[in-house]
């Protein structure tokens, strides 16, 4: 595949490619795309393609919506599932301000900043991956969980991962499992919350200003009405009455953090509905169908003006 501007232009012309897709992601990692024609390609390669950033989660607000998607020539590929008789090209993009400076909210730029930081710290490699709690395993069978867990971690280990952070608090059976499995994998486990009092953890979390909503809960422990509620002092008092761990250590519930003091923006869920699902056990799940990201700086500027 061509890897420079000149090579791409020649390739597009010789293969009679009419459409090229420009790919990028929002701040949550969801793939976004805008399409251009071959006639628009030279200008896009040189200056970028303008689009409305306010339509992308976590990008610009309406007042600063004019931003650019500038394709990276080294990422050019043909989309394999498109009709070979009418091939379609694609490139990943850097998101830029109108003055061609990097847009701060671009996840690709965030990765580049961290790579530069890595080099300054003297490191040669930088690996990223999803939190293991959110791996989707092939089978809901608990007996196969460990096998599939090891398989997933082994893939990360092959890329140089040596340490894993877990959020266990008091379940001895769980930490024993973690230590045994990590020993088998030759991975170093880190347990920063181990043996810290439950209410100290959850009170500090809430008092610091973090906002989390319940997105999943065991159907036989908590009902449908708990889905979508914020994890606040009121619900913690309800957990005390029901004798439920306020941190969900036994898998009673799972949360999604939508705001906090370390975040530059917050997520507002606009549309969602509870759904009953089967897995390791029956649980209620919050199906989020629409949301928006709100810049805290924008809000402060608006309120101050």
Mean pLDDT of 166-191: 88
286, 214 Cβ separation under 8 angstroms: yes
Same domain for 94 and 188? no
How many domains in the chain? 3
Give the β-pairing of 265-277 and 253-259: unpaired
CATH number at residue 74: 3.10.20.70
Judgement on whether residues 136 and 91 belong to the same structural domain of the protein:
no
Per-residue H/E/C for 213-226: EEEEEECCCCCHHH
How do residues 80-109 score in pLDDT, each as one tens digit?
877 778 899 999 999 998 899 998 888 899
Rounded to an integer, what distance in angstroms lies between the CA atom of residue 118 and that of residue 137?
32
Domain boundary among 172, 196, 220: 196
Residue 203 shares a structural domain with residue 271: yes
Same-domain pairing of 172 and 207: no
Per-residue model confidence (pLDDT) at position 61: 55
pLDDT value of residue 1: 85
7-16, 137-146, 162-171, 175-184: range with highest mean pLDDT? 7-16
Q: Give the sign of the dihedral formed by CA 136, CA 142, CA 146, CA 147.
A: negative
Say if residue 60 is in the same domain as residue 108: yes
Taking 80 as the threshold, does the pLDDT of residue 298 lie above it? no
| Residue 215 sits in the same domain as residue 294 | yes
Using the 3D structure, point to which of 196, 217, 237 is the last residue of a domain. Answer: 196
Q: What is the pLDDT of residue 297?
A: 67
> What confidence score (pLDDT) does residue 216 get?
92
List, in order, residues 6 or more apart from 180 with CB less than 8 Å away. none
Domain that holds residue 138: 127-196
Q: Are residues 115 and 153 in the same domain?
A: no
Q: Which two tokens stand for residue 170?
A: 């008091």
Percent of the chain having pLDDT more than 90? Answer: 42
Picking from 13-22, 35-44, 76-85, 295-304, which range would have the lowest pLDDT averaged per residue? 295-304
Contacts of 291 (CB under 8 A, 6+ apart): 57, 267, 268, 269, 270, 271
- How far, CA to CA in Å, does 196 sit from each of 149, 182, 204, 212? 26, 22, 12, 20
Same domain, 303 and 240: yes
Indicate whether 113 and 158 sit together in one domain: no
Same domain as 96, residue 161:
no
Read off the pTM.
0.49
Query: Do residues 209 and 296 both lie within one domain?
Result: yes
Q: Please check whether residues 190 and 202 belong to one and the same domain.
A: no
Give the residue from 196, 219, 251 where a domain finishes.
196
């Amino acid at each position: 595949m061509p890897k420079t501007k000149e090579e791409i232009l020649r390739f597009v012309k010789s293969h009679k490619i009419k459409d090229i897709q420009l790919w990028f992601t929002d701040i949550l990692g969801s793939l976004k795309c805008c399409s251009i024609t071959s006639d628009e390609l030279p200008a896009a390669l040189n200056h970028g393609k303008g689009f409305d950033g306010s339509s992308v989660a976590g990008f610009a607000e309406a007042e600063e919506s004019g931003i650019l998607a500038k394709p990276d020539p080294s990422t050019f590929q043909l989309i394999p599932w498109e009709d070979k008789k009418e091939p379609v090209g694609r490139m990943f993009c850097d998101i830029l301000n109108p003055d061609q400076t990097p847009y701060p909210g671009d996840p690709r730029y965030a990765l580049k900043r961290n790579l530069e930081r890595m080099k300054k710290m003297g490191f040669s490699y930088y690996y990223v991956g999803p939190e293991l709690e959110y791996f989707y395993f092939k089978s809901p069978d608990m007996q196969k969980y460990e096998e599939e867990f090891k398989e997933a971690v082994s893939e990360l280990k092959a890329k140089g991962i040596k340490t894993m952070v877990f959020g266990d608090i008091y379940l001895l059976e769980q930490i024993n499992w973690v230590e045994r499995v990590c020993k088998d994998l030759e991975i170093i486990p880190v347990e920063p919350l181990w043996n810290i009092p439950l209410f100290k953890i959850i009170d500090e979390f809430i008092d610091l200003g973090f906002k989390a909503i319940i997105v999943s809960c065991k159907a036989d422990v908590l009902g449908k009405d708990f889905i979508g509620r914020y994890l606040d002092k009121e619900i913690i008092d309800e957990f005390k009455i029901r004798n439920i761990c306020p941190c969900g250590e036994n898998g009673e519930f799972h949360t999604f953090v939508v705001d906090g003091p370390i975040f530059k923006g917050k997520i507002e869920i606009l549309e969602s509905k509870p759904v009953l699902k089967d897995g390791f056990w029956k649980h209620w799940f919050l199906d989020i169908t629409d949301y928006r990201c709100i810049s805290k700086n924008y809000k402060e500027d608006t309120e101050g003006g």
